Amino acid sequence: MPMKPRRIFLQKAGLSAFALSLPVFNSVSAMTAFSNSAGREDKPLRVAIMGLGSYGTRVADAMQTCKRAKLVGVISGTPSKIETWKTKYGIPAKNCYNYQNYSQIKNNPDIDAVYVTTPNALHKENVIGVANAGKHAICEKPLSINAADAEEMVKVCKAANVQLLVGYRMHFEPKTLEVIRMRAAGEFGKVLFFQGLSGFIIGDPTQWRLNPVLSGGGAMMDIGVYSINGARYMIGEEPIWVTAQEVKTDPIKFKEGIDETITFQMGFPGGAVASCLSTYALNNLDKFYLDGTKGFAEMQPSTGYGPIKAKTHKGEIDIPHVTHQTVQMDEMAAIILDGKKPIVPVDGIEGWKDMKIVDAIFEAVKTGKKVMLT
């Protein structure tokens, strides 16, 4: 169904109106919400990627079309991967490091930041190492494997006077931000309900995501975080309690310490309730649904690599798709280099908040009780 002229206008100008309408969000023009800052476009953020696995490769490929972020270095424990990346991305040998010597980036003025894409349980050690070398740290989600580690990472980066950002690419995704703008503008009325479904059937049983020592957990750490984070930015509040239940149908594949399926609920101070599912045992689960007294928003896919599909009671949200990691890295360059304030935070404190909720969900599973969040 073709969109009404007013709807088209809202999509083009909405973020500006949203940014100006509420004090809880940072004031930022819609004209720069998804584009590069104009202040220092001559200076790129020079990034080294730590962990050259599948996601590190995805980020590297996406950065080839960035305007503000440039891939200049690598950190890996696999020499053959380093050689491949040197050739593929034109990385000089002087910017290549391994896990034993990467502290030497402290003396390399050609690297501004390191994007950590190693397994979850290594995030704390790696981010602290990057901070101690005086470089900004970008850490893939989840920030850590528990809230205590996340807190320490935030404090170390602050003490080192470097920024800690988390790879929340959805915080820059245009359709997601349009839904957030509509909610903040009151277009859904009083928000009462959020549903988050995050799941897929995981494959190779030998991969690190199914190793509790490296992953720190199963589906919850990997994709359940999307529903936690999504509930927070879609509702626009912080949860005050959680309840949760776990189901495990394959204890061999999903060994102790690796959750297969967890359903969890969150309560919010305004009265909204979130009902969410995190699983490694079901496909076709990538959906957010927000319901209020005046309307709704539905996103499916909601957090995949794209294109995201979104509609509301006013019709489909039609905004061109751009590779998420490309937008993310350009926006993070503007945050680090120009001090730009994103509409939805991506700093270490944001990741720490999610880890507090993850801890509470695991506690609720273990005790069978409602866990209050403070």
Write out pLDDT tens, residues 62-108.
999 999 999 999 999 999 999 999 999 999 999 999 999 999 999 99
Band (pLDDT 50/70/90 cuts) for residue 40 is low
Q: Considering the chain, what is the average pLDDT of its residues?
A: 91
Going from the C-alpha of 50 to that of each of 55, 145, 296, 338, the distances in angstroms are 11, 18, 40, 24
Q: Which of 340, 361, 28, 374 is nearest to 181 (CA)?
A: 28
Question: In this predicted model, what pLDDT tens digit does every residue of 234-273 receive, in sequence order?
Answer: 999 999 999 999 999 999 999 999 999 999 999 999 999 9
Element containing residue 311 per DSSP (H, E): strand 310-312
Dist. CA 180–CA 344, nearest whole Å? 9
Q: Output the pLDDT for position 34.
A: 39
> CA-to-CA distance for 157 and 164, rounded, in angstroms?
6
The rounded distance, in Å, linking the Cα atoms of 168 and 19 is 19
Please state whether beta strands 296-299 and 285-292 pair in parallel, antiparallel, or not at all (unpaired). Answer: antiparallel
d(CA 9, CA 208): 46
Give the dihedral of Cα atoms 311, 317, 322, 323; nearest 10 deg.
Answer: -10
Residue 370 pLDDT exceeds 80 = yes
CATH number of 30-169: 3.40.50.720
Q: What is the pLDDT of residues 198-210, one digit of tens each?
A: 999 999 999 999 9
Q: Alpha helix locations (H) across 99-173? A: 123-132, 147-159
Would you say 170 and 198 are in contact if contact means Cβ atoms under 8 Å apart?
A: no
Confidence check: pLDDT of 124 > 80: yes
Q: Which of 50, 169, 198, 60 is nearest to 119 (CA)?
A: 50
Common-topology check for domains 5-22+170-320+348-372 and 30-169: no
pLDDT for 154 beyond 60: yes
The CATH number of 5-22+170-320+348-372, from 3.30.360.10, 2.60.120.640, 1.20.120.1630, 3.90.420.10, is: 3.30.360.10
Report whether the peptide linkage leading into residue 301 is cis, meaning its omega lies within 30 degrees of zero: yes
Residue 23 in this model has a pLDDT that exceeds 60: no
| Cβ contact 210:202 at 8 Å | yes
Residue type, 81: K
* Domain-wise residue ranges, the chain: 5-22+170-320+348-372, 30-169
Give the Cα separation of 48 and 131 in Å (integer).
13
3-class secondary-structure state, position 72? strand
pTM value is 0.89
The phi, psi pair for 46, rounded to 5°, reads -95, 115
